[in-house]
């Protein structure tokens, strides 16, 4: 990866000797190579000769040569050059026994605002709006503040020195950036797929990276991979970080509903955070097995050995500058390797989850752009995580989907803060409930259509008022520290941030607000619709309510759990296939715990049988095979 200047030191002059040697050495030592294409960083000569490959920033300044990930995704020259070097790599290593998979580029991201991208954006828009500028003007509501376009040429990407308040434009630009990146990736994969049709293609994703809708990029990949660098030991946030990371692993597995690859992780620490704390003993094993528990079939590192210079010379690695293996980190990696060798049976297995939690990039973009509520941070991501944690804590598996996936296999669908809802998706939700599903939505549901135009006739949009049996009249945004009280099943809970005022029609009120001018009015409702039921949570809470609420729902719906009793900060996950079931038990507490077991298992690491209870040390993890 990142070796283009070595592979092609001058235009058209190639030298693959270093890579030949690396591939041969890995093979001789029994390994495989996930070989990257070098487009993430290009040689100097290319920017000198073809300035169009350099990225243009939102304020329309063209970047200088430097850093990495700084190219234009539209530039015909860059597309031709990347396809060419990829072709040469594929031709050279097509029969090399070490070639294991293709890793296309690196962490695609960013956007370019150059004239070529502007033109491509206009073409994309003409295509989307079928050449009808009036349709675009309507979708973007451009009469507001006199923003009407009278020619396609007037359209420019959003900019801090230009248009930045037309929500439809921003949303379409973000969609375009995703499509253009996916198209760039497609162009990179053409020679790889042609010359090495049997070699898997992936690219590495970055968690909830805001700039790309990964549901689109997944279509270019055979296997999903992602880079995982959590703040494991941030004081007071241990469990929070474990839950967030679990959610991200679940999303990456859900993209293709297949096992994925943990492309990058550090065995010790990173170097780019504010505080680069070491992983405590045990955490490396725990965090690696966590990835596998949620569906990864690999554990890989950035980086094997620290480079002597450059900005990552102090980033954690398997081999340190000392150059030998007598280090704590090396030993921990070797120990993990021994365990992984005993886990061949896990490869290819999957969980079969009954809960779907929706996290939707377009909804996120629209919420971020929305002027209203809490202006700068709507906390969409945190809210999705808050609705995920009760399941994590109970060992109940969750698939994390966007709004376009098939919901029929699930007993429970949760769509927190789903503000942006297009007609087709509303219909699908209706069908899901009508056919017997249980749906949970929250405040700000169904307020805008796919163009970010408000739905008229009362929220939640379209037929959803009938599904939930209520309508939402207004929403109160609370200042930090302000709270309301919600009483549910004779217990008081704390409402914060948002309290929506809703009016039940056919819905049954389950909880009410305790304070303010809407005291006594409903805060939680349920409605029977067709064969199913729909819950509407009108407020955000501090986590205690959603925990109790989903705990009860999990019991009511008899959702399967990996283990029956898990104490705070301990979780368990299931992978199954070929008649075998593996349970992964993880302890994120700094103290040891005793986990009750309901069956007999074999501890894959020790080979010993365990039943009744399992003792886990602090940050301990066990892989159990059901007997």
Shortest distance, CB of residue 264 to ligand GAL, whole angstroms? 6
Radius of gyration of the chain (CA): 26
B/e letters for 337-346, b = 16+ CB within 10 Å, e = fewer, are eebbeebeeb
Instruction: Please report whether residue 106 would count as binding ligand GAL according to CB under 6 A.
Output: yes
Task: Tell me, yes or no, if 107 is annotated catalytic.
Answer: yes
Subset of 295-354 contacting ligand GAL (CB under 6 A)? 302, 312, 315
Nearest Cα residue to 356 out of 422, 290, 441, 295: 441
Ramachandran region of residue 516, left (φ > 0), alpha (ψ -120 to 50) or beta?
left
Instruction: Please report whether residue 279 would count as binding ligand GAL according to CB under 6 A.
Output: no
Nearest Cα residue to 552 out of 412, 347, 434: 412
Shortest distance, CB of residue 325 to ligand GAL, whole angstroms? 22
Residues 512 and 488 sit within 8 Å (Cβ to Cβ): no
Shortest distance, CB of residue 301 to ligand GAL, whole angstroms? 10
- Which of residues 266 and 484 has its CB atom nearest to ligand GAL in the complex? 266
Residues 441 and 415 sit within 8 Å (Cβ to Cβ): yes
Nearest Cα residue to 410 out of 247, 258, 549, 559: 559
Instruction: Please report whether residue 238 would count as binding ligand GAL according to CB under 6 A.
Output: no
Shortest distance, CB of residue 315 to ligand GAL, whole angstroms? 5
Return the bridge partners of 400, or none.
357
Q: Which of 8, 107, 188, 381 is catalytic?
A: 107
Subset of 211-230 contacting ligand GAL (CB under 6 A)? 227, 229
- Which of residues 312 and 626 has its CB atom nearest to ligand GAL in the complex? 312
- Which of residues 64 and 67 has its CB atom nearest to ligand GAL in the complex? 67
Cα-Cα-Cα-Cα dihedral sign, residues 443, 449, 451, 455? negative
Nearest Cα residue to 452 out of 32, 77, 170: 170
The residues, any chain, with a CB within 8 Å of residue 477's CB and separated by 6 or more, are: 372, 373, 374, 497, 498
The residues, any chain, with a CB within 8 Å of residue 278's CB and separated by 6 or more, are: 268, 269
Task: Tell me, yes or no, if 274 is annotated catalytic.
Answer: no
Shortest distance, CB of residue 67 to ligand GAL, whole angstroms? 11
Instruction: Please report whether residue 264 would count as binding ligand GAL according to CB under 6 A.
Output: yes
- Which of residues 310 and 579 has its CB atom nearest to ligand GAL in the complex? 310
Q: Rounded distance, CA 262 to CA 445, Å?
A: 34
Q: Which helix (H) or strand (E) holds 244?
A: helix 238-256
Cα-Cα-Cα-Cα dihedral sign, residues 37, 42, 47, 52? positive
- Which of residues 333 and 472 has its CB atom nearest to ligand GAL in the complex? 333
Subset of 533-592 contacting ligand GAL (CB under 6 A)? none
CB under 8 A, 24+ apart: contacts of 247-251: 247/357, 247/384, 247/385, 247/388, 247/392, 247/398, 247/400, 248/207, 248/208, 249/290, 249/291, 249/293, 249/294, 249/295, 249/296, 250/294, 250/295, 250/388, 250/397, 250/398, 250/399, 250/400, 251/359, 251/400
- Which of residues 38 and 462 has its CB atom nearest to ligand GAL in the complex? 38
Shortest distance, CB of residue 184 to ligand GAL, whole angstroms? 17
**Residue in 8, 107, 452, 586 binding ligand GAL, rule: CB under 6 A:** 107
- Which of residues 311 and 477 has its CB atom nearest to ligand GAL in the complex? 311
Shortest distance, CB of residue 319 to ligand GAL, whole angstroms? 16
Q: How many helices (H) and strands (E) does the chain have?
A: 16, 25
DSSP string of 504-544, one letter each residue = ESSPEEEEEE-SSTTTTSEEEEEEEETTEEEEEE-EEESSH
Shortest distance, CB of residue 497 to ligand GAL, whole angstroms? 32
Q: Which of 8, 264, 362, 586 is catalytic?
A: 264
Shortest distance, CB of residue 1 to ligand GAL, whole angstroms? 7
Subset of 165-184 contacting ligand GAL (CB under 6 A)? none
- Which of residues 69 and 503 has its CB atom nearest to ligand GAL in the complex? 69
Shortest distance, CB of residue 558 to ligand GAL, whole angstroms? 41
Beta-sheet pairing, 204-205 with 225-227: parallel
Instruction: Please report whether residue 8 would count as binding ligand GAL according to CB under 6 A.
Output: no
Q: Rounded distance, CA 319 to CA 329, Å?
A: 8
Site string for ligand GAL, 65-104 (x = CB under 6 A): ----------------------------------------
Q: Rounded distance, CA 74 to CA 458, Å?
A: 42
- Which of residues 110 and 345 has its CB atom nearest to ligand GAL in the complex? 110
Spatial strand order in the sheet of 200-202: 33-36, 99-103, 200-202
Residues 516 and 528 sit within 8 Å (Cβ to Cβ): no
Residues 500 and 476 sit within 8 Å (Cβ to Cβ): yes
- Which of residues 39 and 451 has its CB atom nearest to ligand GAL in the complex? 39
Residues that bind ligand GAL (CB under 6 A): 106-107, 227, 229, 264, 270, 302, 312, 315
Point out the residues that are catalytic.
107, 264
């Amino acid at each position: 990866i990142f070796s283009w200047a070595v592979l092609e030191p001058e235009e058209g002059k190639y030298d693959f000797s270093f890579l030949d040697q690396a591939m041969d050495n890995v093979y001789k030592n029994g390994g495989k190579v996930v070989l990257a294409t070098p487009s993430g960083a290009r040689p100097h000569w290319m920017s000198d000769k073809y300035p169009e490959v350099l990225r243009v920033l939102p304020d329309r300044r063209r970047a200088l040569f430097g850093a990495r990930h700084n190219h234009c995704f539209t530039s015909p020259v860059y597309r031709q050059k990347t396809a060419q070097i990829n072709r040469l790599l594929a031709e050279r290593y097509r029969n090399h026994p070490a070639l294991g998979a293709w890793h296309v580029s690196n962490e695609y991201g960013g956007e370019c605002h150059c004239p070529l991208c502007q033109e491509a954006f206009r073409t994309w828009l003409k295509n989307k709006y079928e050449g009808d500028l009036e349709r675009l003007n309507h979708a973007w509501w451009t009469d507001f503040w006199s923003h009407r376009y009278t020619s396609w040429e007037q359209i420019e990407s959003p900019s801090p020195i230009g248009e930045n308040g037309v929500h439809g434009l921003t949303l379409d630009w973000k969609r375009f950036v995703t499509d253009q990146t996916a198209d760039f990736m497609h162009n990179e994969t053409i020679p790889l797929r042609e010359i090495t049709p049997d070699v898997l293609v992936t690219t590495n994703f970055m968690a909830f990276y805001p700039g790309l809708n990964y549901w689109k990029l997944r279509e270019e990949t055979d296997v999903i991979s992602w880079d995982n660098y959590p703040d494991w030991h941030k004081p007071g946030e241990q469990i929070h970080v474990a839950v967030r990371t679990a959610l991200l692993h679940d999303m990456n597995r859900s993209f293709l509903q297949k096992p994925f690859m943990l492309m990058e992780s550090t065995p010790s620490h990173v170097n780019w955070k504010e505080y680069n704390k070491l992983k405590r003993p045990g955490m490396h094993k725990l965090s690696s097995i966590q990835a596998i528990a949620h569906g990864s079939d690999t554990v890989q590192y950035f980086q094997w050995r620290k480079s002597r210079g450059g900005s990552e010379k102090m980033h954690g690695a398997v081999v340190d500058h000392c150059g030998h293996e007598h280090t704590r980190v090396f030993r921990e990696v070797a120990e993990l390797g021994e365990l992984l060798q005993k886990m061949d049976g896990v490869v290819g297995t999957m969980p079969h989850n009954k809960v779907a939690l929706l996290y939707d990039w377009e909804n996120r973009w629209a919420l971020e752009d929305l002027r209203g509520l809490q202006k700068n941070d709507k906390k969409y991501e945190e809210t999705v995580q808050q609705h995920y944690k009760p399941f994590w804590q109970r060992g109940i598996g969750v698939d994390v989907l966007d709004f376009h996936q098939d919901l029929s296999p699930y007993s429970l669908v949760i769509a927190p803060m789903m503000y942006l809802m297009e007609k087709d998706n509303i219909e699908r939700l209706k069908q899901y409930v009508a056919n017997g599903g249980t749906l949970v939505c929250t405040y700000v549901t169904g307020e805008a259509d796919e163009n970010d135009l408000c739905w008229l006739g009362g929220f939640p949009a379209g037929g959803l008022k009938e599904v939930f049996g209520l309508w939402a009249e207004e929403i109160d945004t609370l200042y930090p520290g302000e709270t309301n009280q919600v009483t549910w099943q004779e217990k008081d809970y704390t409402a914060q941030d948002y309290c929506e005022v809703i009016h039940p029609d056919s819905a049954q009120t389950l909880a009410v607000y305790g304070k303010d001018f809407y005291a006594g009015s409903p805060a939680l409702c349920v409605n029977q619709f067709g064969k199913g039921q729909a819950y509407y949570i009108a407020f955000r809470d501090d986590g205690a309510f959603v925990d109790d609420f989903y705990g009860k729902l999990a019991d009511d719906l008899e959702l399967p759990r990996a283990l029956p009793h898990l104490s705070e900060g301990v979780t368990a996950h299931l992978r199954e296939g070929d008649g075998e079931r593996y349970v992964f038990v993880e302890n994120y507490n700094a103290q040891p715990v005793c986990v009750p077991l309901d069956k007999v298992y074999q501890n894959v690491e020790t080979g010993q049988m365990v039943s009744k209870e399992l003792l886990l040390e602090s940050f301990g993890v066990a892989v159990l095979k059901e007997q």
